[in-house]
Structure 1
Amino acid sequence: MQDIIKKMQSLGFNQYEAKAYLALVRIGSASAYQVSKDSGIPRARIYEILNGLEQQGIVLKEEINDAAQYSPLPVDVFLESMQVNWRTNFESISESLKDLEKTELTPDNRVATLKGAEHILSYCRTLLKKAEKKIVISIWGDMYEELLSDLQKATKLCALKGIVFEVEQPLAGLDYHRTTSYTKNIGHQKWFILSIDGKEMIYGPSITERETAFYTDDPVHIYLLENYIWHDILVNRLVKNQDAIVEKWIATEREQFFSL
């Protein structure tokens, strides 16, 4: 029950309004006293709450033998009404926000922090929809799976380039990074990079490890990280068909470079 109340609150109802409507759904037509008793809403507040819901059209009121009886808007009608209201509000706020965005001055190139797995994924999907010419990525299996359907749609309109880790049969245009001692022991450092048209980029650790990423439209950041991806691809291609001696040499050189 608490879960339903919280979800109704996310639709704009307060806790008492949600409890009153749910009580009426459960018991049908009832007096204010019965609603108060069933829902736990204080009697001093129940008439205020029910009258407010009546004003919204969520509760129906009728006088029977000089006593007020309340009944809920049928659930199917309630849900349809909520859906229509949500769609109307969404379309209205979308237009208003887009108009506002057009009138605002374009900010200087920046690096912004993104928080929350869903926000990060939504931002990535938004960038993929905006891509017009080229998408460049470096990505591990978990993030790749999250964005696969969006990548597939985007590649119908523009080129896809980059490198993937722990992904079998990646999309055309993507190199598969060979398995090495470094990739096997990388632990929590499975970063991703997503760049579109050389103009905007999101990068950060896997969202399963840390729900933080970074957005930038700074050309220097984008240039450096796209070149990082190309360097990774180039080394991977050069080494892929070489023997274990070369792989061991690279591992040794890397360890020496990053040692204290």
Structure 2
Amino acid sequence: MDGDELTEILEDAGLSPYQSDAYVTLLGLGSASATDIAQASDVPDPRIYDVLRGLEEAGYIETYEQDSLHARAHDPANVLADLRSRATRFETAANEIEDRWSRPDLEEHKVSIVKRLDTVLARADELIRSATNQVQIGLTPAQFDELSDALTAAHESGVDVKICLFPLTTTETDVPSRESLADACTEARYRNLPSPFVALVDRSWTCFSPHGQSTNEYGVIVNDRTHTYVFHWYFLTCLWEIHDTIYSARGDDPPITYVDLRQCLRDVEPLLEDGATIEATVYGFETDTGREVTRRGTITDLTYTGHSTVDGQQTALFHLAGKASLTLATDDGTYTVGGWGAMLEDYEATRITIESID
């Protein structure tokens, strides 16, 4: 680095141009009279004394009398510490600018657009770890590897985790091992076409980014139940309903837990038609007050706006896209139970456990 460049950097650090010039000159001279410093630098003779006193006050040099005013540079330890501190602050500011550019403050926005997939995955990791009820996620095997620790933590804490895996390209065939899936999820399915990354957490958060072959890289992070409900139906219809199950921890015997009322209705309907008595516990909220409730009783009826089952076949999902609910008879009354976004029913169920089937 030459003297001119060093002088410019010292100006950036807070010295005036004359102070920077005088200090760099004095570093080369070691110690010198004020007159010699002025002659060796570009500082005018009338200004040199003020410039040296300013450098002394800033801790860069010390002055002394020896027939005339002389100066010498201080031990540079303090100067170096100050410059390195400034460098650290600049680096911190650069990182903060980059972070704010790529990730707006999520606390002040319901919908945030971010510029990188890494930001979406990092936010998904945080949200999955804090989940309390359910996670629905569509991702590539590589993204599964990146988020597997978070998914495992959620699964181990009792969160219902549904995973749809898909390839990054049409030629990719690798999938995680059954053991890895068993640690990380309740059920996993496989779609053989590349798809966007999407993660839905506790009916409130969505993290979304286009698939890896997209020409545009961006992400959407949503903190809103209505938007997330739309993504939920995308997940059900495009990533879940028609694809093969590659792992499932769900058994056929009670207790059987559902986080989706519509899936519960599909399984319960043929049992009711056969005259079974079904005991269930409903966890959720009162739709009029938002108060959390837990009710145990007997499922006595179910309703939905589509067509009923035909020849014992499970009702198609699209028949349940409208109003759907079940009726629960308890010791203190009979209640209607709806699913995600319920408004007309007594309760919105977040989880339903079938306790017994007789």
Larger radius of gyration: 2
Greater relative CO (CA pairs within 8 A, separation 6+): 1
Name the one with the larger strand percent.
2
Name the one with the larger helix percent.
1
